[in-house]
Copies of this chain bind each other. A is one copy, B any other.
Amino acid sequence: MLLQNNLLAERNRGWFEAKRITALNLVSSPGSGKTTLLEKTIAMLEGRPPVAVVEGDQQTMNDADRIAATGAAVMQVNTGNGCHLDAQMIRRACDELDPPDGSLVMIENVGNLVCPALFDLGEAAKVVIISVTEGADKPLKYPNMFAESALCLINKIDLLPYVDFDVDACVDAARRVNPRLEFLQVSATTGEGLDAWIAWLRDRCGT
């Protein structure tokens, strides 16, 4: 099943390349703030590039409804008992979404720091989000996800005064797993640090 997924993921990768689409796979625990981050990101990008979103959850249309309110194209995928999105779900969603050439496809994976690491979706990169309300040792306890990601967003930094979270320890832990991992500190709620994230996205998309 993993092998079959890997083949379909490469097919997705070619499909995205042909359309000069940048696809990013956003992975994290539940509640790390992925949907709020996407809402702010779509608004700040102002259509340069256009954004389409694939929302993964076991159940509900809640996140798709939130993204639709931003005006971006969105497709909700409910995985039922499933713990991750797979490559076939992404291709079906993209066939429906029909994102324009040169656009950015943001895939919000099921909130799960374990299983989505094993399933390539054909994305250009994984972005792992960790919130400062989680523990700084998460990268060591769940190493696959951090090893597979290109960028780590440390989110909810507005809550740092109220929690016991050592940002440097988190970065050190993640770098032990993946020395090439980049980091940005942000608060999707207050907007702090999001300019750097938008710049990272535009650089990645070549826009």
Chain A residues packing against B (C-beta within 8 Å) = 29-31, 57-60, 62-63, 81-83, 110-115, 118, 131, 133-135, 137-138, 140-144, 156, 158-159, 162-164, 189
Contacts and interface: CB of A to CB of B under 8 A. Distances in A.
Contacts of A163: 159
Most chain B beta-carbon contacts within 10 A, residue among A30, A62, A63, A156: A30
A114 B57 CA distance: 10
Q: Describe A's contact surface by its main secondary structure.
A: loop
Contact of A118 (B81, B110, B133, B144): B81
A131 B33 CA distance: 13
Contacts of A135: 30-31
A60 B59 CA distance: 32
Given A83-B114, A112-B113, A138 B30 contact: yes
Given A83-B115, A111-B113, A159 B142 contact: no
Nearest 8 interchain pairs by C-beta: A31-B134, A133-B133, A83-B114, A29-B29, A29-B30, A57-B141, A60-B140, A83-B115
Given A58-B114, A60-B137, A142-B111, A131 B31 contact: yes
Given A29-B29, A112-B113, A159-B133, A143 B58 contact: yes
A129 to B, nearest CB: 12
Given A63-B141, A83-B114, A111-B138, 5 more contacts: A30-B113, A30-B142, A58-B144, A59-B142, A111-B142
17 contacts: A29-B29, A29-B30, A29-B111, A29-B113, A30-B141, A31-B135, A57-B141, A59-B141, A60-B140, A62-B140, A83-B112, A112-B114, A112-B115, A115-B115, A131-B133, A158-B162, A159-B163
A17 B172 CA distance: 45
